[in-house]
């Protein structure tokens, strides 16, 4: 057992997976490791950096698209990936990600631009569309995305204009007949298991980090509960419908008084409680309800594409390093670092599992032998998120960690042999073997 495998998730709004991997590599080298003993694998859970990782792992080409910004005030060039098998890969964060829209709240943003990416990808007649969900600034229940696909939302007799941020607007009916002819198979690769609404829903799990205040959570979650009623208790996808006897005010009043009931399967049917439907502020639920999208876990799918499990078994590393911007309760309940830790436990038993993070809610976990927060105490968040500062913090923290017993025992570990077909990709990716290629 020897060597190190590094598979860092992105530091949201700061470092991409590839950049975080490179910083860890440099920190290890500074600590005394041999670079030839370190294999870096780019990973994503469907959120920020998803398409970049896809570009490294599969034979795919960029397809550029001009789309609307999340605030609707401008247009910019984004892209999706089309692989040689005809699968289109779309990243939600490339349309409405945190880094493009810092410092505001979900009330200002729409997922319309993401819908434009989906619409353009569908026009190319792909064999399948995969939408990586996570890292968005939106909490609009996917209304904007659906508008871009031709769905009409009404507030009484008034049509909601395309791209107008929909959060908390009194939507009363939906005309989804534009989706009648939809035939492209669609999958969601979600970065979270959050459901659409309720205690474990999109708003209560992610609302604060998107800019909502504590005082706004009940009302926004109640609106999401109401939208779940429209999405799953109506007559179904691809139809025009109104819900007799159900009003926005009555649902909000009930949900604010009994927030734990919001989003329960009893209220909204089995679909409303689907894990992952709360991904990207409810976009997962919108795609599931209206287009029949299957919801998969982005972390699991990327681990499969990267052959990470097979490489761990083959190389039997002494240490596996993963991590993300913040280590907290969400990390330990299905986020990418937790998944990689479990894969390491299964495929490289006996390896030391380390989580490197910007900050940590806790520094002990059954998932990891060590949790290393890299941000110095007292450093302001906006400074810590600067790309160069974050990179320096990772390098310094890893080199300083040499005083720990487990680190000292590993810093001069023997070389392990890496297949020369993979050696040129060592710092960036592990591609699938030729036997998986066409």
Q: Are residues 312 and 253 in the same domain?
A: no
Q: Which of 242, 270, 298 is the last residue of a domain?
A: 298
User: For the whole model, what pTM was predicted?
Assistant: 0.83
Statement: residue 270 has pLDDT above 70 = no
Q: Which of 255, 270, 298 is the last residue of a domain?
A: 298
Mean pLDDT calculated for residue range 233-253: 40
For 326, the enclosing helix (H) or strand (E) is strand 326-327
**How is residue 9 annotated by DSSP?**
P
Sheet holding 294-297, edge to edge: 60-68, 75-83, 87-91, 128-133, 186-190, 294-297
Distance CA 311, CA 416 (A): 12
Contact 399, 27 (CB under 8 A): yes
Distance CA 315, CA 184 (A): 39
Q: Are residues 169 and 253 in the same domain?
A: yes
Q: Which of 302, 301, 359 is nearest to 331 (CA)?
A: 359
Tell me the per-residue pLDDT of 335-381, one tens digit each, with 9 for 90 and over.
Answer: 789 889 999 999 999 898 999 999 988 767 788 988 889 999 999 99
Tell me the per-residue pLDDT of 151-202, one tens digit each, with 9 for 90 and over.
Answer: 999 999 999 999 999 999 999 899 999 999 999 999 999 998 899 999 889 9
pLDDT band with cut points at 50, 70 and 90 for residue 402: low
Could you tell me which residue, 264 or 220, shows the higher pLDDT?
A: 220
Range of the structural domain that residue 36 is part of: 4-43+307-436
Tell me the per-residue pLDDT of 282-337, one tens digit each, with 9 for 90 and over.
Answer: 999 999 999 999 999 999 999 999 999 998 998 899 899 999 998 887 666 567 89
Here the CATH number for the domain that contains residue 428 is 3.40.50.10350
Q: Are residues 263 and 354 in the same domain?
A: no
Q: Are residues 205 and 92 in the same domain?
A: yes
Most confident of 68-82, 218-232, 259-273, 413-427: 68-82
According to DSSP, the β-strands at 4-8 and 319-323 are: parallel
Contact 358, 402 (CB under 8 A): no
pLDDT mean across residues, the chain: 83
Q: Which of 298, 318, 353 is the last residue of a domain?
A: 298
Q: Are residues 122 and 227 in the same domain?
A: yes
Q: Which of 198, 194, 244, 204 is nearest to 225 (CA)?
A: 198
The token duo for 249 is 């005010």
Contact 290, 146 (CB under 8 A): yes
How many domains is the chain built from?
2
């Amino acid at each position: 057992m020897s060597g190190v495998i590094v598979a860092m998730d992105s530091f949201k709004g700061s470092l991409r997976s590839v950049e975080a991997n490179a910083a860890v590599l440099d920190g290890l080298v500074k600590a005394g490791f041999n670079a030839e003993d370190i294999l870096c694998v780019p990973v994503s859970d469907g959120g920020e950096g998803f398409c970049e990782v896809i570009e490294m792992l599969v034979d795919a080409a960029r397809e550029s698209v001009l789309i609307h910004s999340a605030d609707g005030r401008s247009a910019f060039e984004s892209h999706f990936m089309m692989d040689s098998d005809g699968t289109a890969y779309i990243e939600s964060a490339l349309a409405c990600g945190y880094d493009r829209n810092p410092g505001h709240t979900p009330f200002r943003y729409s997922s319309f631009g993401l819908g434009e990416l989906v619409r353009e990808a569908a026009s190319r007649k792909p064999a399948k569309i995969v939408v990586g969900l996570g890292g968005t600034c939106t909490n609009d229940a996917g209304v904007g995305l659906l508008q871009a696909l031709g769905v009409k939302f009404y507030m009484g007799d008034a049509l909601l204009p395309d791209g107008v941020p929909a959060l908390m607007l009194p939507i009363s009916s939906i005309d989804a007949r534009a989706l009648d002819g939809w035939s492209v198979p669609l999958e969601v690769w979600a970065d979270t298991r959050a459901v659409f609404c309720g205690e474990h829903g999109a708003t209560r799990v992610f609302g604060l980090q998107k800019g909502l205040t504590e005082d706004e959570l009940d009302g926004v979650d109640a609106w999401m509960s109401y939208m779940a009623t429209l999405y799953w208790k109506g007559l179904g996808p691809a139809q025009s419908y109104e819900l007799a006897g159900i009003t926005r005010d009555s649902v909000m009043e009930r949900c604010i008084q009994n927030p734990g009931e919001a989003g329960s399967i009893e209220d909204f049917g089995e679909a409303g409680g689907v894990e992952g439907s709360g991904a990207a502020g409810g976009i997962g639920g919108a795609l599931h309800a209206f287009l029949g999208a299957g919801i998969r876990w982005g972390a699991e799918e990327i681990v499969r594409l990267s052959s990470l499990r097979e490489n761990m078994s083959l190389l039997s590393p002494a240490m596996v390093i993963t991590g993300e911007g913040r280590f907290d309760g969400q990390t330990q309940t299905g986020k990418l670092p937790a998944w990689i830790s479990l894969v390491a436990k299964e495929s490289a038993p006996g390896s030391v599992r380390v989580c490197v993070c910007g900050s940590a809610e806790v520094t002990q976990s059954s998932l990891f032998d060590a949790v290393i927060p890299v941000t110095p105490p007292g450093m302001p968040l906006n400074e810590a998120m600067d790309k160069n500062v974050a990179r320096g913090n990772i390098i310094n923290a890893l080199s300083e960690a040499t005083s720990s017993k487990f680190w000292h025992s590993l810093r001069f570990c023997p070389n392990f042999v890496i297949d020369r077909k993979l050696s040129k990709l060592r710092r960036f990716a592990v591609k699938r073997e030729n036997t998986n290629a066409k």
